[in-house]
Each structure stands twice: as structure tokens, then as C-alpha cells.
Amino acid sequence: MFGLDLATFAAIIVAVLIAIDVHECCHAWVASQLGDPTARSLGRVSLNPIVHLDPLGTIMIFLTALTGFGIGWGKPVPVDPRRLRYGPMKGMGIVSLAGPAANLTTAAVLAIPFRAGTPVLPTFLLELIFIVAMVNIGLAIFNLIPIPPLDGYGVLLGILGSIGAPWAYRWSYNLARYERYGPMLLLLVIIADRYIPIFSSIIYPPYMLLRQLILGV
């Protein structure tokens, strides 16, 4: 929308920082509402982006925006699953889902000027809002992939914990055994995706669907 220039780079950075800020703040808020005050006591129930930025993750955000390849991240929200209402698995499932849900809600709110008919906002501001909305949709879809440490893994465990059947507990137990390998697997898939579109084929269809439903384009 801006072209491959400084404006595009700046817009992407702003969009990613807003998306991560909303995402992590909602994780912290929901955890607090479910009975775990850990994140609130650390000041994480806040829309101040500084409290949610991880130094290395922030550098990676800039590099990813600059090169179009890589992954950035915010500071993980500390949660004690034992203190969550509904139990550790269900509670963490709800907390995990809160981040992507917040991103989709943000995108829906930002879509109001486009859905309202003829917008009266300046063109450059509309373009920025559009990019922020698209980044929020993309971040939500990406985080719902069920690979740890992404939120989709916590959501999957929460669903299995809610089922309560013996097979569901076996699945959750087996998944937990291999949880420590999740970050390595995620990194390998991201690297491989540059040559074999694994993530692209998974993320692109729901991304385009939600973009159409939310933004109408």
C-alpha cells in the first residue's frame, strides 16, 4: 500500500507492536480474571508496549519486517496454571485463546471505518489502520497453530482437558512429553517454509477468509 519504502517499514513495525501489545495484555488480563495475579503484579495488565517487549524478540521484529523472513515475539506472560479457575488445562486454554481473540477483536474495531461506507479519515491514516488490522489477523491465525510455544498448543490442551475422556488425557499427556521440542520444531518449519510452503498453505486460506469477513476485501 505504501510501496517498498520507509513508510511501509514503519507501518509494519507499528502494526506488529500494536498487535503484540494487545495480544500480551489480554493474556495477562484474562489470567488475572481467572484467579492468577502473577501477571498483574508484574504490571503486565497494561497497554504500554514497553512492558510486553522482549529485547531479542524486538530486534527480530525489525529484522523480519526488513527482510520479510523470520519471526518476532513479545515477552511471554507469566501464568501459574495451578491458580487458574477451571483447572490448569482448561484455564490455560482460555488464557491462550485470549491473545488471538484480542487480535481479531482489534481488527474488527479497526475495520469500522471501512465498513461504515465513505471514510472521512486521511488516506495515509486509513492505509495505516488497514495494515494494523491485517497484521492483527495474521498474528491471530499464526498463533493458533498448535505447536508450542504458540497459543494454539494451549488451546488444544484446553480442549482435550474439557473433553474428560481417557483418550483425551492420553493425548494431552503424550503432547506434554514432547512440549520442550516445540520451539525447535517451530523454527525448523519456519526455515523450511522458505522453500516448501508449509505454513503458507495452512495460514493463507483462513487469513484470506477472515480478511474478507472482517475488512470486506
| C-alpha–C-alpha distance, residues 183 and 175, integer Å | 14
Supply the pLDDT for residue 5: 74
pLDDT confidence of residue 119: 63
Which pLDDT score is estimated for 118? 61
Q: Does residue 65 belong to any structural domain of this protein?
A: yes
**Distance, CA of 4 to CA of 171 (rounded, Å):** 46
Provide the whole-model pTM: 0.90
**Average pLDDT, integer, range 66-85:** 87
Q: Which residue do the cell numbers 516445540 mark? A: 182
More confident residue, 66 or 129: 129
* pLDDT higher than threshold 80 for residue 177: yes
Task: Identify which of 72, 70, 105, 98 has the alpha carbon closest to the alpha carbon of residue 84.
Answer: 98
Mean pLDDT of 159-170: 91
Is the residue at 1 inside a domain? no
How far is Cα 213 from Cα 153, in angstroms, rounded to an integer?
25
Count how many domains the chain has. Answer: 1
Q: Where are the alpha helices (DSSP H) in 111-181?
A: 112-115, 123-143, 151-163, 166-177
In-domain check, residue 107: yes
Sign of the alpha-carbon dihedral angle for 4, 200, 215, 95: negative
- Does position 161 have pLDDT exceeding 50, yes or no? yes
CA distance 80 to 90: 13
Residue 28 lies in a domain: yes
The whole domain housing 179 covers 6-215
**Which amino acid, 142?**
F
pLDDT > 70: what percent of the chain?
A: 97
Q: Is the pLDDT of residue 129 over 70?
A: yes
Q: Tell whether the model's pLDDT for residue 216 goes beyond 70.
A: yes
DSSP β-bridge partners for residue 74: 53
Mean pLDDT estimate for the chain: 89
Residue 1 confidence (pLDDT) above 60: no
* pLDDT confidence tier of residue 47, bands split at 50, 70 and 90: very high
- CA-nearest of 209, 213, 193 to 201 is 193
